[in-house]
Amino acid sequence: MAEITNNSGLRQYLVVTGNYWAFTLTDGALRMLVVLHFYSLGYSPLAIASLFLFYELFGVITNLIGGWLGARIGLNKTMNIGLFLQVLALSMLLVPATMLSVVWVMAAQAMSGIAKDLNKMSAKSSLKLLLPEDAKGALYKWVAILTGSKNALKGVGFFLGGLLLTQLGFQGAVAAMAAVLAAIWLLSLFLLKRDLGKSKFKPKFKDLFSKSAAINKLSAARLFLFGARDVWFVIALPLYLATEFQWSQTSIGSFLALWVIGYGAVQAFAPLLTGKKSGKVPGAASAVSWAIALCAVPLLISLGMQYSATPLQVLIGGLMLFGAIFAVNSSLHSYLIVSLAGRDGVSLDVGFYYMANAMGRLLGTVLSGWVYQVAGLHACLWISSGFLLLTVFISLMLKNSNK
């Protein structure tokens, strides 16, 4: 089985991974800093959630344009631009407290959303280029490690944000993160290979949209997969825990951080769970079977909570099961897009796919707040199962697609 064996390729992988890890820590910490700081100022949970809408919206735009940009100027430049923009986003929050209006914070979050998706698209796309063309098994392993470690570190970032807020205060915490990330950005300017991911042709703006039926269907499946998670996880779940079970904000934040860390750990081990140990490389059939396994979980959580004498235990147990199966689904999808993407101009296909991912998160975030406010958590869970059923149907169509 081919691996990243040459020293140059391994160094590039370590630089890409180090950049991605550092960015992810600040991304998770910044989210927790904003949530806790503005909650302490008296903002309602829904008002706090609105601060992140631009973060998701600009993620949609960035993934679409970022893939085109990466193919034209190289993935090293798009990754470094992402790091620099995150430093700027953090710096925007260093203004006096009186200037930290909702609009200003939303603008900073918009920049952070652009930075995050440039960084993610660059990291995922670069793996395609650091491995031989026929190294499917190795590609799955390295994608799973990168994806899983990122999500685990995002959970660690939640803890880091709370710790820095306690020790340094809001502005001190933001300044510390900006300084560290700026140093990493300067190192990356010198260490990252300059022609990484630069296409041999100059893609035109019309090339933003994928012409591959398989990638289009995989992207649609990804949209509903992530919409199914966020429609109940992002806003509805923490509000439900706070109002129905009187959990404190610290308890909710810690619980969600641990869930994200566990979710990332399962992602990293997804290749072992999907047959790689026996020499199998997953395809569209695996995406279908794992989506089917996830499909009924939100519905069962809803029914279990309504008919159980211990609804909190059902909710927590169901969330653990959902997280584990969802993590495998996510890791499978991450591998499939990198595998299906064309080697020349890989970022175009990957960027289009993660644009659909961002659209799913945006749709889920908006519905999570609105549906919970109108109809409650159980309605969110039913919609989640409906979205997952759509994921199954689209994945079935994927089995009949050629690249």
Q: What is the mean pLDDT of the chain?
A: 82
The whole model's pTM is what?
A: 0.79
327-336 confidence digits (pLDDT tens): 999 989 888 8
CB 80 within 8 A of CB 187: no
61-93 confidence digits (pLDDT tens): 887 787 777 777 777 888 899 999 999 999 999
Where is mean pLDDT largest: 155-164, 339-348, 376-385?
Answer: 376-385
pLDDT value at 383 more than 90: yes
Give the mean model confidence (pLDDT) for residues 209-236: 87
pLDDT value at 227 more than 90: yes
For residue 335, give both structure tokens.
Answer: 């591998």
Instruction: Write out the DSSP string of 314-380.
Output: HHHHHHHHHHHHHHHHHHHHHHHHHHHS-STTHHHHHHHHHHHHHHHHHHHHHHHHHHHHHH-HHHH
Higher per-residue pLDDT: 10 or 263:
263
CA nearest to 345, candidates 153, 234, 204: 204
Domains and CATH numbers, the chain: 7-196+208-398 (1.20.1250.20)
pLDDT at 256: 82
Q: Give the confidence band of 220 by pLDDT, cuts at 50, 70, 90.
A: very high
pLDDT value at 199 more than 70: no
Instruction: Write out the DSSP string of 12-47.
Output: HHHHHHHHHHHHHHHHHHHHHHHHHHHHHTT--HHH
